Structure 1
C-alpha cells in the first residue's frame, strides 16, 4: 500500500484511541489480538460497521491475566472513539467531553499516528463472516447497561441451566480464570438476550399435541420471530452472532447459553426448513458453519504474547460425544440430506457443515432413530414425550 492510499484510509477509517493502557495488557479487536507495547495508544483504519473490543489486564511480568472485558461498537467513517485506562478499576473508561474533543483534534491532526496500530484489513474476512448480521440496533438492544461484557459481572443465576459434561468443564474453565476471584464489583450486569423457552408448555392442550410441539419447534420459532423480532429473520441471526462473539472472544458464559438456546431452537425445527423458513435456515446453517470453522481452528492465540493469556478457539471438550451440538446435528442432518424436496442452497450448506464437523471433530453421523437411539432417560435434549392414558 502506497503512502497516499494509507493516509486516505487513516482519515476515512475509525480510530480507537486507548490512553494509558499498561504494557503487556492483552488487547483484541474482532479476530485480531495484541500484547500491548510501551507506546501503544490504540488502533487506526478500522472499517465502518460492528466490532468487538476486548482486553485483559496482566501482572507486571505478563504471566497472569484478569477475566476478559469486552464491548461492542458500531463505527462510522472518520469517527474517533476515546477510552482511558483506569488503574484502580483495571478497565477502560470514557473521558470528559472536553478531554475527548482535545484528543479527537490531536488524532485528526495525525499527532498520535505513530502510536496507533493499523487494523489488519488483510485478515478481516473472518470477522465479516462472524458479524455480517450484527447491526447497531442489535448492539443497542442486547448490550448490558454500560456496555461491558465480562464473566466477572454475570449473575450466578445462569447456574440453573442444565449442563452436560462438556458445559460443566467449560463453566469451570471460564469461572476459574486467573484473577477472576479478585473482582469485587457488586453491580452485576447482564445482556438483554431474547428469552428462548427450552420446553414448550401450553395450558389447555392435549398431551399428544404438546409432544408434537416439542418434537418440532417450528411454531415456537414463528412465535419468537413475530413477537420478538417483528418477523425480521436477520435480527435473530444478529443475536446469534452477537452471542457467539461474546462467548468466544469475550469468554462470557451467559453468551454461550444464549447461543446454545438459539442453535437448539433452530435445529429442533422439522417443518420450517422445508416450508415456511427455507431461506432463514440456509442463512442459519451458513452462519453456524463459519462460526465453527473459525472457532475450531487452534491458531488464534496472540503470538506476540508468547502464547500466554487469551486464545479464542473452542475447548477440547467440544470433541466430547455428549456435546449438545452433536445430538442436534444427528437429527437435523438426516432431515435435510434425506428429504425428497429441499432448497438447493440449504442442502449445499448442510453438507458443508456436516463435512466440517466430521473432518475437524471426527464426529460420525449415521441414520438412527430420532427418539429411541440418541437419548437416555436423563438427557436434557430428549424430546418431551407425553404418555396418554387409555
Structure 2
C-alpha cells in the first residue's frame, strides 16, 4: 500500500492529523485484498493493518476479497460501508475469512481497544496514511451528506453491496414442498417457461438500500386528464411528495440522498445507486413550480452536479448515460425551466453559468430543438376518462 500521500502534505496539517485524526485498525486482511477509503483504493500488502490520520467526519470504506493466484485470483463483489469518525477515534475490526467481511465487534470491547491504542506506536509502520491529497474531492462529493442521512439510507446490515443478497421467496423445507415445484429436468419450450421454473427470489431482509420511495404516478389520486398532463410535464407534485414523506423538516437533505446514491454507484459499484440518482435528478430537473419555490435547493443542486460530473470517468457517458441520452435531455429541461420568468435571478444566472461550463467541458448542445419529441397536450372531451 502506497505511503506517498503524507510526503507532500503540509507539516502543520500532517501534525494535526497525526494528533487529531482517527485510526482504523484492520487485522488479518489477506494480502491482495482490494481496499479503499473514500476516493482511493489499493491492493493491500502483507504488512497492511489499517489506516491512520483519517480526518474526522463521514467516510466510505470499500473492499473486495481476492482469491490467491493458485485459485485463479478472481476478485469478489465489492462491499462498502459508511463510517462517521470523531477526532482521535480508534475503530478495530478483524477479518472474518468465512464471511469475507470485517467484524467490528471488537470495537465494542473497551479493554481490547485500550490495549491496541496503547500499542499504536508499534502498529504505526503497518498503518497506511489517509490519502489526504484526495480529501477535497471527497468533501466536494459529500458536503450535503450528513451522518444521519447516510445512516437512514444505508441497509440495516450496515453493508452496501454491489450485488444483491437474494434468497428464495419460499423455503422448501419439506419434500412435499419441493415436489410441488415445476420440474427442471424437462426441456423448456420457451424462454418464458424456463424463467417461470426458476424459484422466485427476494432480497435478504436488512440488505436493501433504504432510498426514498418515488411515487409511481406523478399526479394525485382523482386527477383530471388535464391535471395528469400538467403533472407529467411539471413534476413538482411528485417532488413535493418525496420531500414531504422523507425530508419534510430539511428539504436540502434530498441533495444528501443524491450524493449518497452517487457515492454508492461510483465508489461502491452499486448500479441501484445510479438508477436512483437518475430518478432523483429527473424529479428535480423537471419540476418547474418547485424550482420557483425552493431556491436554495436548486442552487445546491447545481453545486452538487458540478462536482459529480467533474468526477465521472470520460467514457462513462458513452457506456451508460448516452444509451438514452438521459443526462443531456434532462439538463436541457432544467436549463429551459431555470430561464423562466418566475425563477429567482441568482438561480437563473447560476444555471446559465453551469450550462456554459458543461457546454465547454463536454461539447453538449443544450439549445438543440427537441420540440418534435415533446409530448402532445390535448384537451379531452368533458366526461371522458382515462381507463
Answer whether contact 1:52 1:73 (CA < 8 A) is retained.
yes
In the superposition, relative to structure 1, how do residues 135 and 98 fare at CA in structure 2: closer, same or farther (>3 Å)?
closer
In the alignment, what sits opposite 1:373?
Answer: 372
Query: What is the alpha-carbon distance in structure 2 between the residues aligned to residue 271 and residue 4 of structure 1?
Result: 49
In the superposition, relative to structure 1, how do residues 42 and 289 fare at CA in structure 2: closer, same or farther (>3 Å)?
same
2:41 aligns with one of 7, 27, 33: 33
In the alignment, what sits opposite 1:215?
Answer: 233
In the alignment, what sits opposite 2:103?
Answer: 93
Cα deviation digits, residues 145-193 of structure 1 (max 9, x gap): 2210113225699xxxxxxxxxxxxxxxxxxxxxxxxxxx966711111
Answer whether contact 2:34 2:65 (CA < 8 A) is retained.
yes
SS state at 1:327 partner: helix
Q: Which runs of 5+ in 1 are unaligned?
A: 158-184, 299-313, 376-381
Q: Give the deviation of 1:219 after TM superposition.
A: 2.8
In the alignment, what sits opposite 1:77?
Answer: 87
In the superposition, relative to structure 1, how do residues 55 and 104 fare at CA in structure 2: closer, same or farther (>3 Å)?
farther
Q: Which has the larger radius of gyration?
A: 2
Q: Which runs of 5+ in 2 are unaligned?
A: 1-8, 169-202, 383-387
**1:57-72 alignment runs, 5 A limit:** 57-61=65-69, 64-72=74-82
Answer whether contact 1:225 1:236 (CA < 8 A) is retained.
yes
In the alignment, what sits opposite 1:343?
Answer: 344
Q: Give the deviation of 1:103 after TM superposition.
A: 4.0
Q: Give the deviation of 1:328 after TM superposition.
A: 0.9
TM-score normalised by length of structure 2: 0.78
In the alignment, what sits opposite 2:4?
Answer: none
SS state at 1:52 partner: strand
Query: What is the alpha-carbon distance in structure 1 between the residues aligned to residue 323 and residue 162 of structure 2?
Result: 26
Q: Give the deviation of 1:374 after TM superposition.
A: 3.2
User: Is 2:39 aligned against 1:21?
Assistant: no
Q: Give the deviation of 1:205 after TM superposition.
A: 2.3
Q: Give the deviation of 1:100 after TM superposition.
A: 6.1
Residue range with higher mean Cα deviation, 248-257 or 226-235: 226-235
Query: What is the alpha-carbon distance in structure 2 between the residues aligned to residue 98 and residue 336 of structure 1?
Result: 50
Q: Give the deviation of 1:42 after TM superposition.
A: 1.0
User: Is 2:309 aligned against 1:292?
Assistant: yes
RMSD over equivalenced CA pairs, Å = 2.9
In the superposition, relative to structure 1, how do residues 98 and 295 fare at CA in structure 2: closer, same or farther (>3 Å)?
closer
In the alignment, what sits opposite 2:213?
Answer: 195
Cα deviation digits, residues 268-323 of structure 1 (max 9, x gap): 111222x211121010121011111112357xxxxxxxxxxxxxxx3632462613
User: Is 2:288 aligned against 1:270?
Assistant: yes
TM-score normalised by length of structure 1: 0.77
Query: What is the alpha-carbon distance in structure 2 between the residues aligned to residue 16 and residue 97 of structure 1?
Result: 10
In the alignment, what sits opposite 1:134?
Answer: 145
2:156 aligns with one of 142, 145, 152: 145
Query: What is the alpha-carbon distance in structure 2 between the residues aligned to residue 156 and residue 318 of structure 1?
Result: 29
**1:291-310 alignment runs, 5 A limit:** 291-296=308-313
SS state at 1:196 partner: coil
Q: Give the deviation of 1:342 after TM superposition.
A: 4.1
With a CA cutoff of 8 Å and minimum separation of 6, indicate the structure with the bigger relative contact order.
1
Q: Give the deviation of 1:389 after TM superposition.
A: 2.6
Q: Give the deviation of 1:5 after TM superposition.
A: 6.4
SS state at 1:283 partner: helix
Answer whether contact 1:334 1:367 (CA < 8 A) is retained.
no
